[in-house]
Each structure stands twice: as C-alpha cells, then as structure tokens.
Structure 1
C-alpha cells in the first residue's frame, strides 16, 4: 500500500504493520526525535489509570503504550489487528494479555472497561466513526476515552515546515531505520489526510461521547482528545 486513503483496506494495513513490527518502536523514536516518550506520558496522565481498573489499549502494537498502565496497577488489555505486532509484543512483554481485534468490531462485551485509549491508530482504521462507537459500547457508564493522534500544527509557518518533513525527510530517515520505508510514505500521507483537532472532536462527540475536549502537544503535531461516556444513573 503506497497511497494513503480514508478508504483503507484493513488486510493491507495489517500486512504493512506486520512487516515493520520488529523495528517499529525504534523507528518511531528516531522519526519523532524522541517525542514519542513524552506523548506516552501525556496519554498516561490523561487516562489516569487506577489500581484494579480495566483499560483497553487499542492499536497497542508491541505493547509499548500498554506497559505504563500495567505499572500503574491497572488491568490492561493491549489490542491490535496486526498479528505481526502482537507476536513481537508477546515475545518482548509476556506478562501483557495481548488480544487480536478489529477496532470496528471489538471482541468485548458491553460496558466492561473503565477507560479506552488509542494512540496513533485511529487514522489507520477503515471506519474511524464506527470504531469510536465501538469504543463507547465497551466503556462503562462514566468511563473515559483518550485519543492521541497526529494533528495539524497551530503555527502556520511551522505547519509548512512540518509538511515538508513528512513528505521528504521522514521517508528518507525511515529507509535507514525501518525494514519497509514505503510504509512510512503511507503513514506520512495518512497524517496529512487526517482531520484537524476541531473536526476530530466533532466526530468523537457525534459518536456519542460527552464532554469532549482536546489539548495540543508539540505545537499541534499531536493532539490529545478526551471524552466520557454518560453515566446512565
């Protein structure tokens, strides 16, 4: 898959992630200049996991994003549709309960998670709006959603520089650190095609989430959206 499209083919996207799984975490650290670690800490604070709570971490990949929830005492379920990612994750972190699953048809009962989070994965889902509705379905009343996703830099001159980096420098760097640099061309294009902060907030709210808000990280390169399922009581 060489071109990004909002009509994504799940099998092709999964195969792409299977291929880059082994060096995916290293590539992310290099391509983000180490910012991924700061973003993960921001997600952890936003999710605010408590001991004994159940957290669903979607698009969890190799489980790097899930480990902080486990260390906080939560019961975390890392879920991904790339079997290659899950295999690498299980080998590296055998204590995590990795689960294969499609975000648009989650293999979980209604209202079983205190929090659901997805980092840098929603834009790769075939139907993001259906995925947001599924996340709502599996969340307990009063529970919370945290979406960490690439977005639009808020300062116009920086936005131009960032766009150039995505389409020119990122694939060149990826050739050095990744087994499939074409995958990062797709990822760069998918970032450019993704809605901005306000539009994503609107779509989260339209999916049924309540009290939706966001804050920018790294000048808007990444946005952290949060929402809550209404308490039925």
Structure 2
C-alpha cells in the first residue's frame, strides 16, 4: 500500500484508509501520545448532543467518534467514504447506522441534522469548499457545524518542535503498530499543508456559516472550529 498524494484523489485516500482500518484507532492513540481521547471528549462537549438531536458524524471511520453522541440519546449517523473503515466499524458497533458517503456529495436531504461534525477528516477531502457547502446544506436552520482538525501550534518554538516530530518521528512511531507507515507520511505532509486557524475560519464563512469561532487544543496542535446556520 502506498500513501495518497496531496492532491487527495478520492480513490487514493479511500484505498489508503481501507488498508489501515483494522488498527486505525490503536494507531491514533499511539501517534497522538494519548491526546486523541482528550480531543474526542472536547468534540463531544462542543457538539452538546442530547435526546432528540440528529447528528451527522462525517469521516467517522470505524464509528468510535460517534459513540459519545449516541450515549446521550441522540440519533447519530456515522458516515465515511472508506468502505474498509465502515466494515471494521460494523464489526464493533453493528447497531449504528453506518453510511457510505462522500463529503462533497452527501447522500442526505436538505436541512436534516441539528449538528454536523467532522474530526480529522476535512483535511483529506479533495474540495474543502464543496464539503463545507454540503455540510451547510444538510444542516437544519439554527443548527451547527463542529470541526476538529489538526492545525498550527501558536507558540513558535513549539511549532518548530512539532513539525520536526511530524516529519521525522511520526512514521517510525506508527511502524510500532502497523507494518506500513506510508499513510502516516501522508498524514504528516497533509497537516503541514493544511490552512491555519484563521484561514479555516474564513473558508467556513465563505461557505455561509455564521458566528464562526475556534478554540485551540493542545497548544494549537488541534483546533475546534464552530459555525451556525441562520
């Protein structure tokens, strides 16, 4: 298996994630040094799901990220374009309505969801603007989007150390869990090329979202962005 290219051809990205599906959750915990679980908790707080809410969890992978929403009594739809990820998720969480879907052409009607959320997946979509418009389309008026994505550390010296970790240490660390670290080379490269916090906020506003704001986690390694549909 080889890594996807940074032009993010959908078939390449889907194939890459299919290949790492079985150990995806474990690898995430290892390469994030345990921070991934903290980030998921912060996403759950931001979403604020409750009984009667309908939540779209896009780029849900194996649906691990969907469990906190379901635990509140909300109806959550885990959606991903990697069939390998979805099949792995179905083994673990057969009761969830896992759905195959492309972020730029979602298989849902207009104004369906109270909250749409995507964690560590927007960066892998070929057309970010189209995805943000699709998320807007399927959200109910008054609903919200919550995006959790890798971003840019705010303190210069730490940013330098972090980028060194991404490019040099992350693939060897990933190799302790998976035999082929190539997808994690792509991960490092895609994080380095991704827009910073203000730039992503501007893209959300361009797609129609209002009240856009963000909050940094882990010193800006990750940022939570939120917007609302009027």
Q: Normalising by the residue count of structure 1, what TM-score does the alignment of the two structures yield?
A: 0.97
RMSD, aligned α-carbons: 0.8
Tell whether the 8 Å contact from 2:113 to 2:138 is kept in structure 1 after alignment. yes
Aligned ranges 1:9-20 → 2 under 5 Å:
9-20=9-20
Q: Distance in 2 between matches of 1:2 and 1:110?
A: 34
Q: Give secondary structure in 2 for the equivalent of 1:8.
A: coil
Q: Deviations over 1:110-150 (max 9, x none)?
A: 00000000000000001011000000000000000000000
Q: Distance in 1 between matches of 2:177 and 2:92?
A: 19
Per the TM alignment, residue 212 of structure 1 is displaced from its structure 2 partner at its CA by 0.2
- Structure 1 equivalent of residue 146 of structure 2: 146
Q: Distance in 1 between matches of 2:179 and 2:191?
A: 20
Aligned ranges 1:51-62 → 2 under 5 Å:
51-62=51-62
Aligned ranges 1:28-107 → 2 under 5 Å:
28-107=28-107
Q: Give secondary structure in 1 for the equivalent of 2:26.
A: helix
Tell whether the 8 Å contact from 1:4 to 1:189 is kept in structure 2 after alignment. no
Tell whether the 8 Å contact from 1:4 to 1:190 is kept in structure 2 after alignment. no
Structure 2 residue runs of 5 or longer lacking an equivalent are none
**Structure 1 pair 179–18 and aligned structure 2 pair: CA distance change class (3 A):** farther
Per the TM alignment, residue 50 of structure 1 is displaced from its structure 2 partner at its CA by 1.3
Q: Deviations over 1:63-86 (max 9, x none)?
A: 010000000110000000000000
Q: Does 1:216 align with 2:216?
A: yes
Number of matched residues?
Answer: 229
**Structure 1 pair 3–157 and aligned structure 2 pair: CA distance change class (3 A):** farther
- Structure 1 stretches of 4+ with a deviation exceeding 6 A read none
Structure 1 residue runs of 5 or longer lacking an equivalent are none
Tell whether the 8 Å contact from 2:4 to 2:13 is kept in structure 1 after alignment. no
Tell whether the 8 Å contact from 2:132 to 2:207 is kept in structure 1 after alignment. yes
**Structure 1 pair 3–54 and aligned structure 2 pair: CA distance change class (3 A):** closer
Q: Give secondary structure in 2 for the equivalent of 1:78.
A: strand
Q: Distance in 2 between matches of 1:186 and 1:208?
A: 30
Q: Distance in 2 between matches of 1:98 and 1:158?
A: 38
Per the TM alignment, residue 95 of structure 1 is displaced from its structure 2 partner at its CA by 1.2
Per the TM alignment, residue 3 of structure 1 is displaced from its structure 2 partner at its CA by 6.2
Q: Distance in 2 between matches of 1:23 and 1:191?
A: 21
Q: Distance in 2 between matches of 1:52 and 1:90?
A: 23
